[in-house]
Structure 1
Amino acid sequence: MRSPTLARRERHDLCDLALVLGEDAPTLCGEWTAKELVAHLLVREHSPLGALGIAVETFARLTDRAMARLGRRDFAVLVEQLREPGLTPYALWPVEVLGNTLEYLVHHEDLRRAQTDWQPRENTPADDDAIWTAIRIGGRALVRPAGVPVRIRRADTGKEVTLRGGAEPVTIIGSPTEVTLFLFGRRQLHDVTFEGPTEKVAALRRAALGF
């Protein structure tokens, strides 16, 4: 039997933490509470029309309505519904790995790092490799708003990947988790550094990264 993916384990950890913190706990997703974050994830996986508004701003009202409907339900029920993907494409191993590894990593950290006592996570080497593989693929779209060449470098191994080509790139250096969080527009980070021309580093740090 195949071991649970990192995406599935992050899903479970997010659910466990949400129940501990409660539905009104803050997150790093703007004004969203833990309940609204859980509702967002459920809409993404179980409401095709609602999920359309996540990707296309024109349809954002559909997402808001779907989340509002879920928001009227009991929080513990919503969390237990989220705990397993159920009958959705996200239950399939390849889709789960490609579509949910970064989604649940980032949103788990959104919940963790919104709390005053958060600490940087410690991953296994295998999990760090899985995160690095995922951000190598997904990071190319994430850095487009910056308009500058971008590389990422693992602080532990020194491995580098070019996400956006060009002369005199900015290099983001950190653990796979921290690099990922920066590329998704989060700023509650631990030990992330930058190399490159000052003006390009500034442009990258100002950019509205992520989705």
Structure 2
Amino acid sequence: MTRHAQSERLQLCDELDRLGPDEPTMCGGWATRDLAAHLVIREGRPDLAVGTLVPFLAGRLEREQRRMAHGDYPALVERVRKGAPVWNPMAHPKVDELTNLIEYFVHHEDVRRAQSGWEPRELPAALQGKLWSALKRSSRLMFRKSATGIVLIGEGQGRYAAKLPDEHGTVVLRGTPAELVLYAYGRKSVARVEFEGDADDIAALQKAELGIS
């Protein structure tokens, strides 16, 4: 089994090492050190990660993530590189591929595209196909706050109706699966996608809050 999630993880860690702890990312105000701390907590500290879902625990999550982010940065990145602890199901290669491919692909691009002079990577067709499959599974959640209908056209992959229209008509989003993933996960400013539809509907989509939040 080709482990695309593992490859994205390792490439992300190489970027984190190369850039250092204080470079910007596309993650709402996080520097590279904050992103690394987030990933360590996500896989290794479920007692803290629950703060993303339980409001009264959010303050503890933020404090501990900040503390971790300002510790030993090389050691922090190395913890991300090693992956989930053995007790976490994500340590199993098949579970890792299912649950972490988009996580690590998006965060890899969060680091890359926050730096000047970035260009999209030439990704293997197999990886584009995996991203397309993952996007179809998650697209209804990602686009749930859009008032427009959404049809995705993935280059080399086909067409997928992600959401029925609500207050507006339907917008067609066209691009490589990688770029469509980035748009769906809220990285609108750096996702290279094309829009087809009524101008007002496209404007409504552009204003919509996309992603998990």
Q: TM-score, normalised by structure 2?
A: 0.91
In 2, distance between residues paired with 1:31 and 1:147?
Answer: 27
In 1, distance between residues paired with 2:60 and 2:95?
Answer: 24
Corresponding position of 2:205? 204
Deviation at 1:30, TM superposition (A): 1.6
Corresponding position of 1:50? 48
Corresponding position of 1:147? 147
Give, as a single letter, the amino acid of the residue that structure 1 aligns with 2:109.
Answer: E
Alignment of 1:7-156 (within 5 A): 7-85=5-83, 86-87=85-86, 88-154=88-154, 156=155
In 2, distance between residues paired with 1:48 and 1:109?
Answer: 25
Gaps of 5+ in 2: none
The root-mean-square deviation of aligned C-alpha atoms, in Å, is 1.7
Give the 3-state SS of the residue equivalent to 1:63 in structure 2.
Answer: helix
Give, as a single letter, the amino acid of the residue that structure 2 aligns with 1:197.
Answer: D
Identity %: 36
Q: Deviations over 1:21-44 (max 9, x none)?
A: 000011011211100000001111
In 2, distance between residues paired with 1:175 and 1:75?
Answer: 34
Assess, with a 3 A threshold, how the Cα gap between structure 1 residues 68 and 190 changes in structure 2: closer, same or farther: closer
Assess, with a 3 A threshold, how the Cα gap between structure 1 residues 146 and 58 changes in structure 2: closer, same or farther: farther
Assess, with a 3 A threshold, how the Cα gap between structure 1 residues 148 and 57 changes in structure 2: closer, same or farther: farther
Structure 1 contact 113–188 (Cα < 8 Å) conserved: no
Assess, with a 3 A threshold, how the Cα gap between structure 1 residues 190 and 138 changes in structure 2: closer, same or farther: closer
Q: Deviations over 1:162-211 (max 9, x none)?
A: 11124842111011111111111113435411112222211111111112
Gaps of 5+ in 1: none
Give, as a single letter, the amino acid of the residue that structure 1 aligns with 2:203.
Answer: A
Give, as a single letter, the amino acid of the residue that structure 2 aligns with 1:164.
Answer: K
Structure 1 contact 148–200 (Cα < 8 Å) conserved: yes
Structure 1 contact 50–62 (Cα < 8 Å) conserved: yes
Give, as a single letter, the amino acid of the residue that structure 1 aligns with 2:114.
Answer: A
In 1, distance between residues paired with 2:26 and 2:44?
Answer: 23
Structure 2 contact 183–191 (Cα < 8 Å) conserved: no
Q: TM-score, normalised by structure 1?
A: 0.92
Count of residue pairs the alignment pairs up: 208
